[in-house]
Structure 1
Amino acid sequence: MKRDYYEVLGVGKAASADEIKKAYRTIAKENHPDMKPGDKEAEERFKEATEAYAVLSNPEKRAKYDQFGHQGVDFNGQGGGFGGFDFNEFADFGFGDIFDLLFGGGGRGTRQRGPARGADLRYDLSITLEEAAFGTRKEIEVSLSETCPECRGSGAAAGTHPVTCTACQGSGQVRMVQRTPFGQVTTARPCPTCGGQGTIISSPCAKCNGKGKVRAMKSIEVNIPEGSEEGLSLRFGGKGEAGEKGGTPGDLYVVLIIQKHEFFERRGNDIYCEVPITFVQAALGDEMDVPTLHGTTKMKIPEGTQTAKVFRLRDKGVPYRRGSGHGDQYVRVVVATPTKLTDKQKELLKEFGNITTLSQQMGKKTIWDKVKENFKDALG
């Protein structure tokens, strides 16, 4: 007695077409005769799953099966390569999928015999915040492969040239006939003699050992634009690995890594920093020199400035990479408490404290000041 097709594939009756297809591929790959030669149980599981997929992957047949069961899709007497199935039942897989399914993807392993583009390269370049902000030029050394100057990429020694592979007659492929549940299928795989190249090098080039490429160090000048940000990728066309058989070189991508600054912090195009000020500067006010990416500039400290106050210096940030103008710089001041005071200084501070209210010293009303205001009459 046949098992339920949904049970065979391990899916529910509401399974989508993609879920059914995925389930079948998994079972077929695990139990295909090429994967488990001589395993009769695996072969039966493969046939059973294939029969189930042939029905459930076809909307019309699936509807009949859901309504009438196995009797609605009886394949007896229909002919065909396997259990009455037509190879077209699996057309939705596409030829590449069927090839991968039946032969483990070998058909897609054939190497490209014509010109092939070279691989791209990545180079991480560390720069300072100032270099990122205002732009600069850097010269870097990149290790890459280039076309062998001796054989010009052919891989053959001077005076010789690659010869046509006699095993595959230059096609780079050998054909074989595979027995499948669908009948005989002719497949093509890379020629083992020439590795899919179609040619054989009998006298390899001594410089590149027949590879057609050699390693080299190349010096490349990198122009870093102003306003560059962390992770910016600069593309240099044709500066990557050499191509195969006359193919174009790949590209070089220089990725910028910005070093941490000891004083400034960058957020977008704005710059943030922290500057200490004295108690006297905070209390009486002052004008002080503040460092910026653009050089030292004057910043006014108003009388009675509190610690953690943030001041904005317009246009003192990083230039915009696109368009004109600059970001701003934000300066957070921190009032420093004096240490190692002399006796005279301590005496003056005590005198200052005696003649100064707590709210004056704190720079704001204290809780006690607010209580006295609210209960002024009651406290007299």
Structure 2
Amino acid sequence: KECATCHGQGRLRKVVNPRLGQRVSTSTGPSCGGAGQTIDKRPPGVDSSGLVSKEDTISVKIPAGVAEGMQLSMSGKGNEAPGSGIPGDLLIVIEEVEDKVLKRDGNNIIYDLHISFIDAALGTSVEVPSIGGKVRLKIEPGTQSGKILRLRGKGVKDLNGYGHGDQLIYVNVWTPKKLSPEEKAKLESLRTSTNFQPHPDASEKGFFERMKEYFG
């Protein structure tokens, strides 16, 4: 039926008479929401605009490369509009769930690799996780703790289609905390060996130099 508040106009006009001249303000009808009509006898769950509030489940395609806080819009999947109005849009806010192993930094993926002192000294081959599955990685003999290895193209796909990021492997050489008497004796015999004394050369970069190189 016709809205008793706005008399079918959908808006309310208010005339104000200030000292400097007449002024008219308008506002949306509070009872009908601007429709000019109200429902006389509403079934349970129907609001004054004749709409029923309900939830629905739909499938959404998430493009590769989206990040925390980004919004996706689905046209016409929002609330219905009263009468013959156009339905609104559904806004989907992206929330990332942090992985326990792989960390994201933009389009790059960060992974902390822990290897033994023996593997660092002699070299080895290890499997590391990536977003595309396991990847075989070669550890060169003499690898130092703090070294950053790069797997090109193993990061997140760029949202705008400009290739993929990289996966950065942070090497951590693990030092044993407990040793048997036999193990201690073997290491003691190597303590004075010149090969076991720190002697970094000029070509070896420090931690901050490596970080600056990889992250600009």
Quickly name the TM-score band, shorter chain normalised: 0.7 to 0.9
1:361 aligns with 2:197: yes
- In 1, the alpha carbon distance for the partners of 2:136 and 2:15 equals 85
Measured after TM superposition, the shift of residue 299 of structure 1 is 1.5
Aligned to 1:254: 92
Give 3-state SS (helix, strand or coil) of 2:114's partner. Answer: strand
* Alpha-carbon distance change, 246 to 311 in structure 1, aligned in 2, over 3 angstroms: same
Contact 1:309-1:333 within 8 A present in 2 as well = yes
Q: Distance in 2 between matches of 1:306 and 1:231?
A: 37
Matched, 1:301 2:139: yes
Match of 1:346 among 160, 179, 184: 184
Question: SS in structure 2 opposite 1:297?
Answer: strand
In the alignment, which residue of structure 1 is the partner of 2:62? 224
The residue correspondences of 1:106-117 to structure 2 (distance < 5 A) are none
What is the distance in 2 between the residues matched to 1:322 and 1:349? Answer: 54
Shift of 1:232: 2.2
**Counterpart code for 1:286:** T
Q: Which runs of 5+ in 1 are unaligned?
A: 1-161, 366-380
Secondary structure, in 3 states, of the residue corresponding to 1:334?
strand
Give the letter for the 2:197 counterpart: Q
**CA–CA distance in 2 between the matches of 1:327 and 1:299?**
18
Candidates 320, 327, 330, aligned match of 2:158: 320
Q: Does 1:335 align with 2:176?
A: no
- The answer on whether the counterparts of 2:127 and 2:134 sit within 8 Å (CA) in structure 1 is yes
1:233 aligns with 2:71: yes
Change (3 A) 1:327 1:319: same
Normalising by the residue count of structure 1, what TM-score does the alignment of the two structures yield? Answer: 0.46
> CA shift at 1:284, angstroms?
1.5
Letter in 1 for 2:200: K
Secondary structure, counterpart of 2:94 in structure 1: strand
Task: Using the TM superposition, give the Cα deviation of residue 339 of structure 1 relative to its aligned residue in structure 2, in angstroms.
Answer: 2.8
Q: For 1:282 and 1:236, how far apart are their aligned partners in 2? A: 51
Shift of 1:168: 6.8
Q: Which residue of 1 aligns with 2:43?
A: 206
Shift of 1:258: 0.9
Contact 1:230 1:256 in 2 (8 A): yes
After the TM superposition, which residues 280-299 of structure 1 pair with which residues of structure 2 at under 5 Å, given as runs? 280-299=118-137
Greater CA radius of gyration, 1 or 2?
A: 1
* TM value normalised by structure 2: 0.77
- Asked if 1 retains the 8 angstrom alpha-carbon contact of 2:29 and 2:36, the reply is no
* Distance change >3 Å, CA 229–CA 209, structure 1 → 2: closer
SS at match of 2:129: strand
Amino acid at match of 1:361: Q
Larger relative contact order (C-alpha < 8 A, sep ≥ 6)?
1
Structure 1 residue 362, shift from structure 2 partner = 2.1
- TM-superposed CA distance for 1:173, in Å, is 6.4
Q: What letter is aligned with 1:343?
A: P
Instruction: Name which of 278, 295, 306 aligns with 2:116.
Output: 278
1:278 CA drift (Å): 0.8
Q: State the SS of the aligned residue for 1:299.
A: strand
1:67-118 superposed Cα distances (whole Å, 9 cap, x missing partner): xxxxxxxxxxxxxxxxxxxxxxxxxxxxxxxxxxxxxxxxxxxxxxxxxxxx
| Structure 2 counterpart SS, 1:271 | strand
Count of residues in correspondence between the two structures: 199
* Cα distance in 2 between the residues matched to 1:341 and 1:238: 67
Distance (Å, rounded) in 1 between the aligned partners of 2:198 and 2:20: 91
Point out 4+ residue stretches in structure 1 off by more than 3 angstroms: 167-180, 185-201
Secondary structure of the residue aligned to 1:362 is: coil
1:304 CA drift (Å): 1.4
Asked if 1:263 corresponds to 2:140, the answer is: no
Residues 84-99 of structure 1 correspond to what in structure 2 (within 5 A)?
none
Identity %, equivalent residues: 35
Letter of the 2:149 counterpart = F
Tell me by how many angstroms 1:197 deviates: 5.6
- Gaps (5+ residues) in structure 2? 202-216
Counterpart CA distance in 2 for 1:254 and 1:192 is: 30
